[in-house]
Amino acid sequence: MDGIDHLADERNKAQFDVDAMKIVWAGSRHAFEVSDRISKLVAADPGFRKDNRPMLGRNELFKNTLRKAAYAWKRIIELHLSEEEAAKLRFYVDEPAYTDLHWGMFVPAIKGQGTEEQQQKWLPLAYKMQIIGCYGQTELGHGSNVQGLETTATFDPQTDEFVIHSPTLTSSKWWPGGLGKVSTHGVIYARLITDGRDHGVHGFIVQLRSLEDHSPLPGITVGDIGMKFGNGAYNTMDNGVLRFDHVRIPRDQMLMRVSQVTREGKYMQSDVPRQLVYGTMVYVRQTIVADASCALSRAVCIATRYSAVRRQFGSQDGGPESQVIDYKTQQNRLFPLLASAYAFRFVGEWLKWLYTDVTQRLQTNDFSTLPEAHACTAGLKSVTTTATADGIEECRKLCGGHGYLCTSGLPELFAVYVPACTYEGDNIVLLLQVARFLMKTVSQLGSGKKPVGTTSYMGQIEHLMQCRSNVQRAEDWLKPSAILEAFESRAARMSVACAQNLTKFTNPEEGFAELSADLVEAAVAHCQLIIVSKFIEKLLQDIPGKGVREQLEALCNIYALFLLHKHQGDFLSTGCITAKQASLANDQLRSLYSQVRPNAIALVDAFNYTDHFLGSILGCYDGNVYPKLYEAAWKDPLNDSVVPEGYHEYIRPLLKQNLRTARL
């Protein structure tokens, strides 16, 4: 606008090499270069404009999303983008669409659960988008309880087909994204029945719509489930409802990697665990953790830049008022979120490694790390999405009144993000899975079986049950060993306490249900320990760039000590630390805030987000917030006319009547 960088002074204060930090954030120089190039390409293309989204009605909004998805595909083909570049392009287009489910779940489900033959048949069609797929698992009556699904797939040996049927209203598929109006096919989860026997839930590829005119195939009733939370937001997605009336599909459309049905109708199970049917969820939960760092960093970038621009109170001798970022209360709310964004980034990187490792092992029939992969993906998905959804809302409040404007970008970001606490597994249900895993680990401690991976700390259970922190001064809390010992002993003691309480129940399932609130807290403590320890491990790596390591150390300590402060009830009640040590942690936290303060703007610049992607006037790179807000207000459709539509109908008669009343 005025071409001036209003945040230049802030940028000059930085004590580290921002370009080097950009590479750490991206994960590698290559990842940075791809991300930088593609984000700029999207930002410069008017075809990907998104600022009008909150104003559009549902039909217009949805059609606009279809246009963008088709245009994105056209650009991907024209520019010969690689799979990695194409995924980045869809990410920076930043509009939930059926393509998320096609690439993010339909394709992975076929890859993970289909045989070689099935993959060869279906994947080329999906890769060229000659078919478009969704992931049809959840039903009106059951989501979390996958074993409770009611849709049936009954084998008919006469015709060598499965008959897919929705026997009840509650068996209607409900929620799958892309199903409502777009998908031609779906991976549909149904109870497999052969010869009158129910073999539980399995995946099937089912064609839903004609490839000629897009009409639903015979026996299929399909539509959108209706408007969701927020304007624009997730309403660009056609979450759908689907009913089957005895729809027939060939036998070879059952995904047969885990189990098979023969021509004779015999059910056969491979020697792979049946839980592999849930494999797509493990894959997506892992991507959701990486995605949490993106959503949170985006909100934090907006709130941090605006906090440096915004001034309120504190003027001395007619000088400028204080920047709100200098208030300790603002720092205490904002900087832990900044630190969390970095923490989630690094734990997301690690989780991707864990997932790749488990996938490679599965290919050689080594299933030993599957339970840990399930517990880690479930728990970290839960903890990071909860913190991110809460964090985005906190960032909105950190921006005061202007944060409530759609042009701040924060209301839409929250509305799009918050269902992450529910989809791919309700966060509480997933934490209970982690708790089951922890209780199993604790119960095996005496058996000589050594806990491994993320539970290896339980191997020193005797030490962790009785150790006392030796922190004496605030600076002692900067030692990774002090932090790790406190987090490990807290997690171990909470798990052991639950395990001991469970022994008081004669029926273990009853005990588990009764103690579930405590079990969830133990699972959170374990997951927070994973995040803290992966951040500390990141710091053991070679980190090039002037001052970059120092900034990351400060953020790691903020993340850990903020959690310690927030959950000090856990640390104190389990006797891991004393009240004095908790207070020293808080002293150290304050001094870390002062250390981060001059670097705050550079730390959010390191995310390398374009103004297009941020979609926020408050977060714009140049910090020229007020003229932009003022100008944007006049562009609101309500300001198209000075006197509003409806004046003659509803305002004028009222005013006239008031005049008459006043005369009386």
Ligand X SMILES: Cc1cc2nc3c(=O)[nH]c(=O)nc-3n(C[C@H](O)[C@H](O)[C@H](O)COP(=O)(O)OP(=O)(O)OC[C@H]3O[C@@H](n4cnc5c(N)ncnc54)[C@H](O)[C@@H]3O)c2cc1C
Ligand Y SMILES: CCCCC/C=C\C/C=C\C/C=C\C=C\C(=O)SCCNC(=O)CCNC(=O)[C@H](O)C(C)(C)COP(=O)(O)OP(=O)(O)OC[C@H]1O[C@@H](n2cnc3c(N)ncnc32)[C@H](O)[C@@H]1OP(=O)(O)O
Q: Which stretch binds ligand Y (CB under 6 A): 15-23, 221-229, 280-288, 459-467?
A: 280-288
Residues of span 353-392 touching ligand Y by CB under 6 A: 370-371, 374
Nearer to ligand Y, 400 or 453 (CB): 453
Q: Please tell me whether residue 279 binds ligand X under the rule CB under 6 A.
A: no
Question: Whole-number minimum distance, CB 360 to ligand Y, in Å?
Answer: 16
**Rounded alpha-carbon distances, angstroms, from residue 357 to 113, 257, 353, 361, 438:** 18, 19, 6, 6, 21
Q: How far apart are CA 422 and CA 382, in angstroms?
A: 9
Nearer to ligand Y, 138 or 331 (CB): 138
Q: Which stretch binds ligand X (CB under 6 A): 112-120, 404-412, 428-436, 611-619?
A: 428-436
Give the helix/strand (H/E) hosting 356.
Answer: helix 328-363
**Is 364 marked as binding a ligand?**
no
Catalytic residue among 139, 372, 394, 424: 424
Region of 248 please: left (phi>0), alpha (psi -120 to 50) or beta: beta
Site string for ligand Y, 99-138 (x = CB under 6 A): -xx-xx------------------------------x-xx
- Tokens (6 digits) for 488: 């490990």
Q: C-alpha angle with apex 49: 45 to 54, nearest 5 degrees?
A: 170
- Beta strands 240-244 and 220-224, pairing class: antiparallel
Question: Whole-number minimum distance, CB 524 to ligand Y, in Å?
Answer: 17
Contact predicate 164/249, CB 8 Å: yes
Contact predicate 214/239, CB 8 Å: no
Residue 428 binds which of ligand Y, ligand X, none (CB < 5-8 A, kind-dependent): ligand X
Site string for ligand Y, 594-633 (x = CB under 6 A): ----------------------------------------
Residues of span 50-79 touching ligand Y by CB under 6 A: none
Q: Please tell me whether residue 335 binds ligand X under the rule CB under 6 A.
A: no
The 3 state secondary structure assigned to 224-263 is ECCCCCCCCHHHHCCCEEEEECCEEEEHHHECCCCEEECC
Q: Please tell me whether residue 133 binds ligand X under the rule CB under 6 A.
A: no
Nearer to ligand X, 35 or 239 (CB): 239
Q: How far apart are CA 636 and CA 54, in angstroms?
A: 11
Question: Whole-number minimum distance, CB 186 to ligand X, in Å?
Answer: 9
Selected binder of ligand X within 16, 92, 103, 135 (CB under 6 A): 135
What residues contact 214, with CB distance under 8 A and at least 6 apart? 184
Neighbours of 208 (CB within 10 A): 25
Question: Whole-number minimum distance, CB 367 to ligand Y, in Å?
Answer: 9
Residues of span 403-422 touching ligand X by CB under 6 A: 419, 422
Residues of span 44-103 touching ligand X by CB under 6 A: 101
Residue 239 binds which of ligand X, ligand Y, none (CB < 5-8 A, kind-dependent): ligand X
Q: C-alpha angle with apex 289: 590 to 498, nearest 5 degrees?
A: 75
What residues contact 349, with CB distance under 8 A and at least 6 apart? 27, 290, 538
Q: How far apart are CA 240 and CA 596, in angstroms?
A: 46
Q: How far apart are CA 203 and CA 170, in angstroms?
A: 19
**Is 138 marked as binding a ligand?**
yes
Residues of span 156-195 touching ligand X by CB under 6 A: 175-177
Selected binder of ligand X within 28, 130, 144, 456 (CB under 6 A): 144
Nearer to ligand X, 112 or 425 (CB): 425
Contact predicate 341/296, CB 8 Å: yes
631 is catalytic: no
Residue 661 binds which of ligand Y, ligand X, none (CB < 5-8 A, kind-dependent): none
Q: C-alpha angle with apex 573: 572 to 578, nearest 5 degrees?
A: 25
Q: Please tell me whether residue 188 binds ligand Y under the rule CB under 6 A.
A: no
Nearer to ligand X, 359 or 422 (CB): 422
**Could you tell me how many residues make up the chain?**
664
Nearer to ligand X, 232 or 623 (CB): 232
Residues of span 422-461 touching ligand Y by CB under 6 A: 423-425, 429, 433, 436
| Helical axes 279-309 vs 370-398, angle rounded to 10° | 20
Residue 639 bridge partners (DSSP): none
Q: How far apart are CA 238 and CA 242, in angstroms?
A: 12
Question: Whole-number minimum distance, CB 149 to ligand X, in Å?
Answer: 10
Q: How far apart are CA 116 and CA 111, in angstroms?
A: 9
Count the residues of the shown chain that bind ligand X, applying the rule CB under 6 A: 21
User: In a 3-state reduction of DSSP, which class is residue 323?
Assistant: strand
Residue 281 binds which of ligand X, ligand Y, none (CB < 5-8 A, kind-dependent): ligand Y
Question: Whole-number minimum distance, CB 93 to ligand Y, in Å?
Answer: 12
Selected binder of ligand Y within 235, 253, 287, 331 (CB under 6 A): 287
Selected binder of ligand Y within 146, 272, 497, 543 (CB under 6 A): 146
Residues of span 226-255 touching ligand X by CB under 6 A: 234, 239
Give the helix/strand (H/E) hosting 186.
Answer: strand 185-194
Q: How far apart are CA 187 and CA 254, in angstroms?
A: 9
Q: Please tell me whether residue 104 binds ligand X under the rule CB under 6 A.
A: no
Q: Please tell me whether residue 335 binds ligand Y under the rule CB under 6 A.
A: no
What does the binding site for ligand X look like in residue numbers (CB under 6 A)? 101, 135-138, 143-144, 175-177, 234, 239, 419, 422-426, 428-429, 432
In the annotated binding site, the residues are: 138, 177
What does the binding site for ligand Y look like in residue numbers (CB under 6 A)? 100-101, 103-104, 135, 137-138, 143-147, 177, 275, 278, 281-282, 284, 287-288, 370-371, 374, 423-425, 429, 433, 436
Catalytic (active-site) positions: 424
